[in-house]
Amino acid sequence: MIENFATTTKGSGPALLLAHGAGGEVRANFGPLIDELARTHTVIGVDYPGSGATPRSPEPLSLDGLADALVATAVREGAERFTVFGYSLGTAVAVRAATRHPERVTGLVLTAGFARLDNRMRLAVDLWRHLLDGDRRTLARFLTYAATDPVRLAELTPEALESAVDDLAATIPPGSPEHVDLVASVDTRAELPRISVPTLVVTTTRDQLVSADLGRELARGIPGARLVEIDCGHIIGAEAPDEWLKVVTDFLREPR
């Protein structure tokens, strides 16, 4: 795996390491929250290979490799210990960071996450990977359908819908094939009982890509994990940023 990851560090205070989702990047997934989180924390955002300004990896990605790379980047940025805030695929990266580097990780925030794929998600991921070999706009139409809250989707005008598809098609990162292949391999169930740090799990209840049941299963597997449910689709940063920010900041304020 490449060694140089594009990194953005902002703010001061206890360190918060961001782990973004597949086919995304730090700014796209956490953008609405970063400035507010940086008021009280040193926020460290790391773009995966093939996202943002990070070069694409010439080899397949692994959870071990990504977790180790993100932890090493945080340490290089001056953070000895930190909470890991994962979104979607980033929740599996965060879990792996906690079990591989327990001396570094002091807490977990896991949003729209999963410890394994169910059959519905596996079909969606298989289709996502297949569509990456074709027209990006067709892929964007599928992802808009799968990741958007059905209630929100129904409210869009035809013009707004096409605009949303165009915007997404223009931002699909080149490293998406490696990201999606990694999603398909995720199974962290065996390591969940070993997590001993405070953990917040945020499920997205109208998520058509990663079901709320997978998020609830993730929470059940982690001793003492707190579960909060937010009524939105997978793209929580666009659909419910204020509610997301509140539950995360409330959790981060608690003594460690």
pLDDT tens digits along 52-83? 999 999 999 999 999 999 999 999 999 999 99
| pLDDT averaged over every residue in the chain | 96
Residue 41 has pLDDT above 90, yes or no: yes
DSSP the chain: --S---EEEE--SSEEEEE--TT--HHHHHHHHHHHHTTTSEEEEEPPTTSTTSPPPSS---HHHHHHHHHHHHHHTT-SSEEEEEETHHHHHHHHHHHH-TTTEEEEEEES--SS--HHHHHHHHHHHHHTTS-HHHHHHHHHHHHS-HHHHHHS-HHHHHHHHHHHHTT--TTHHHHHHHHHH---GGGGGG--S-EEEEEETT-SSS-HHHHHHHHHHSTT-EEEEESS-S-HHHHSHHHHHHHHHHHHHS--
Q: Is residue 136 part of a domain?
A: no
Note down the domain range covering 178: 7-119+173-253
Which pLDDT value is given to residue 4?
81
The per-residue pLDDT for range 212-254, each reduced to its tens digit, is 999 999 999 999 999 999 999 999 999 999 999 999 999 999 8
Which pLDDT value is given to residue 167?
93
Which pLDDT value is given to residue 162?
96
Reported as a pLDDT band with limits 50, 70 and 90, residue 1 is: low
Please tell me the total count of domains within the chain: 1
Which pLDDT value is given to residue 84?
98
Q: Is residue 72 part of a domain?
A: yes
Residue 14 has pLDDT above 80, yes or no: yes
* CATH number of the domain enclosing 29: 3.40.50.1820
